[in-house]
Chain A
Amino acid sequence: MTLTRFVTKNAFRNKRRSLLTLLSIGFSLLLLTVMMTVWRAFYLSNGSAESAQRLIVRHKVSLAQFMPISYRERIRSISGVKQVVNETWFGGQYKDDKPENFFAQFGTDPQEFFRVYSEFHIPEDQLEAWQRDRAGCVVDAELAKKHGWLIGDKLHIKGTIFPFDLELTIRGMYTAPDPTESIYFNNTYLDEGFPRVKGFVGFFGVLADSPQSVPGVAKAIDDLFRNTDRPTKSESEKAFNLDWIAMMGNVKAFILSICAAVVFATLLVSANTMAMSIRERTREVALLKTLGFTRGTVLTLFVAESVSLAAAGGLLGALGASFVVFLMAHSPQMSLVLTGVKTNAPTVLVAVLVGALVGALSSFVPAYNASRRNIVEGLRHIG
């Protein structure tokens, strides 16, 4: 009987209690892992290498106001800018307003688009077909699979922001590293369909020559248009996406408070279990000390028992979390915000460590008291 075996045997001495503790801690840490994964996806990940080099330029006052297309060439002339493309959000409705049928539609320039979004891949012949057809569009291959679209299919998009509908033909499918849930069509269709918007676009996607030059380029672009009647706000693509998330509310505070609540709840559960477990073994502890085990060893044994139980719960929870995150990332409600999000090994490790830490902290006081109890008192203890 080694000390390790002693610890594990004791950890599962009351199987039902250990199982319930494991499950309870497991579910709490599952939630923690989900929160950490979402946090990582929103605030820590830098997106693809290409995304780090891109900026979005929009009207300073509001995303709902347009800018003249003439800005495009002026942006291109700024040093540090490699490629520019104009994009306009069409915001139409496909079939109905159910979340499953929602995807983004952008009017853009077929010649320039894939130069800026270089990580999107499309076969040459499909790209040319799109460039030749003014009523054509290219769609995300994943989106096409979801709706069962094929090249040559016609898409009818009802206009809600703009007072006309789009009749597009799918000319190509592009593959992107993460699902984009978008289709892109030729901006001239927009200009012809709604003459009042001719010459104006929603925003610009800019490819800088390196990630380091992005802040400088952003400032240069904004300075260029500062005193015009349509000033701009330029920011990295990542900052732009974060703005959307922030629109939902104080997401950071929400995630942090859930994490705090979960860790606290785990602490309570673990403390409760250890207190119960230690209390029922008062006589045994006294026996151990009679045999010669020191106070320190007794303390370590208890803390180790608690740590291993809580860490095991953490592992279980973290593994369960990958399933929940998968579900969330593929749900129609959240897929736009959580595309490509999954749990990874470091997150699981953090969950296990949090479990271990909580286990250690929660068991310390009862274990310490038990280790210090007078041997004779302990032996005399009934119940």
Chain B
Amino acid sequence: MAIPIQYNIRNLKLRKSATIMTALGIALTVTTAIFIMALLAGLNAAFANSGNPLNVLVLRKGATAELTAGGVDRDALPIMKDLPGVARDPQGQPLVSGEDLLVIVLPRRDGSGDANVTVRFMTPLGLEMRPEVKLLAGGRWFTPGQREITISKAVHDRFGQTNIGDTMWIGKGTWTVVGMFDAGGTGHDSEIWGDINQLAADFDRVTYNSVLMRATDAVATDALKNRVSDDQRLKLAGMLETEYWAKQTSSGAPIKYVGTIVGIIMAIGSCFAAMNTMYAAVAYRSREIATLRVIGFSRPSILTSFVFESLLLSLLGALIGIVLMLPFNGMTTGTNNFVTFSEAVFSLRLTPGVVTAAVMFAIAMGLIGGIAPAWHAAKGEILASLRD
């Protein structure tokens, strides 16, 4: 027969200050863990969902990122447009977009310094190929032939000098911000978009940094990718756009590393704190425990009861920790993207996965912290405890 849960709940309520203090301590650890996990979840969401599965990204052979010296020769574009398997838009134009990238420096609004931001230059065809990116009301897309740029709303929120109407220096002159877009939390939310022909006028570029091609269906995508890579004339490498973006989740590596160290150290500290509280509770109630044994509750039931109380304590801490982090959900932040050499703008995401992991984390702390005191409670000799 198990000891009723009411017993545990009442006891926790009885020693309020000890309960609250230990729960708060656990809550701090849980909050930190949630913060780190939410950052990583946000980064993953940004890149895992980026890219169209039917798109093939073409880079210069040997390049691992769009930003390289030299790129895809402009002469290669007509050849690529004629490759079999390339999809066409309603007007019959092959969906092949040559694009250029630049990296500029913008100041962060939170005062933590400047960071690199990627500017992507494309033709209107490039816009057509990305229908998932929505223009926000109050602005417009850049006009081909004008020095205009449309920026991601996330970039606008994170960096200064980016309001509609502001100008910024890119390349060899100023460009004006004319609108904002929302890329749905994907990798393009870290970018600024402009017209490629204006850029060409500045730089006499003879290459594209990358070419984006749309295939007609999933089978054609692989075929197209291989065809581009194998073509001896072109000296190019094709890859699935989704794979290219997925690689950029590696930017989370430092966060993961530091976060794991911080989380583990805090967790160990919290375990010891929980253990301390539970030992004190057991010592305080030694006569009660002996009485329970006299009544007929078995040793295992005492053990489970105390472990359960420890779990309740840590779950309370987890609840407080989750509530503390809720205001941060969706907060825009950024970190260095090692692949694009600029800032990856993403938002913190308190996904169900993160919350579940946090609760599991708290339960683990409660279990580890509670098992030793509970064992001690169950092990006690009845007569000795009654006499205390």
Residues of B within 8 A of A23 (CB): 269, 272
B60 at the interface (CB under 8 A from A): yes
**Docked complex: B104-120 residues within 8 A CB-CB of A:** 104-105, 108, 110, 112-116
**Docked complex: B64-119 residues within 8 A CB-CB of A:** 64-65, 67-70, 102-105, 108, 110, 112-116
Q: A24-B276, A258-B262, A261-B31 are in contact. Are A331 and B257 (CB under 8 A)?
A: yes
In Å, the complex CA distance between A326 and B36 comes to: 23
In Å, the complex CA distance between A160 and B63 comes to: 5
In this complex, the interface size class of chain A, counting residues with CB under 8 Å from chain B, is 35 or more
B61 at the interface (CB under 8 A from A): yes
Q: A273 touches which one: B60, B266, B276 (CB < 8 A)?
A: B276
In this complex, the interface size class of chain B, counting residues with CB under 8 Å from chain A, is 35 or more
| Cβ contact within 8 Å between B253 and A269 | no
| Cβ contact within 8 Å between B64 and A160 | yes
| Cβ contact within 8 Å between A61 and B265 | no
| Cβ contact within 8 Å between A247 and B32 | no
B275 at the interface (CB under 8 A from A): yes
| Cβ contact within 8 Å between A16 and B279 | yes
B9 at the interface (CB under 8 A from A): no
Residues of A within 8 A of B136 (CB): none
What is the distance, in angstroms, from A353's C-beta to the closest C-beta of chain B? 19
| Cβ contact within 8 Å between B333 and A249 | yes
Residues of A within 8 A of B269 (CB): 23-28, 31, 265, 269
- The interface bits of chain B over 274-287 (1 if a CB of A lies within 8 angstroms of the residue's CB, else 0) are 01110110001000
In Å, the complex CA distance between A324 and B266 comes to: 13
In Å, the complex CA distance between A25 and B276 comes to: 12
In Å, the complex CA distance between A31 and B275 comes to: 20
B28 at the interface (CB under 8 A from A): yes
Q: A246-B112, A261-B28, A268-B25 are in contact. Are A334 and B63 (CB under 8 A)?
A: no
What is the distance, in angstroms, from A162's C-beta to the closest C-beta of chain B? 5
B343 at the interface (CB under 8 A from A): yes
| Cβ contact within 8 Å between A258 and B116 | no
| Cβ contact within 8 Å between A160 and B65 | yes
In Å, the complex CA distance between A271 and B20 comes to: 12
What is the distance, in angstroms, from B256's C-beta to the closest C-beta of chain A? 9
A250 at the interface (CB under 8 A from B): yes
| Cβ contact within 8 Å between B170 and A20 | no
| Cβ contact within 8 Å between B104 and A17 | no
What is the distance, in angstroms, from A323's C-beta to the closest C-beta of chain B? 12
Residues of A within 8 A of B68 (CB): 160-163
Residues of A within 8 A of B294 (CB): none
The 7 closest A-B pairs by CB, nearest first: A27-B269, A24-B272, A246-B113, A247-B336, A20-B276, A250-B112, A62-B103
Q: List 24 A-B contacts (CB under 8 A).
A: A21-B272, A21-B276, A24-B272, A24-B276, A30-B265, A31-B266, A62-B103, A62-B104, A63-B341, A64-B102, A160-B64, A160-B65, A160-B68, A162-B69, A243-B113, A246-B115, A248-B336, A249-B334, A250-B112, A268-B22, A269-B25, A269-B276, A272-B277, A334-B258
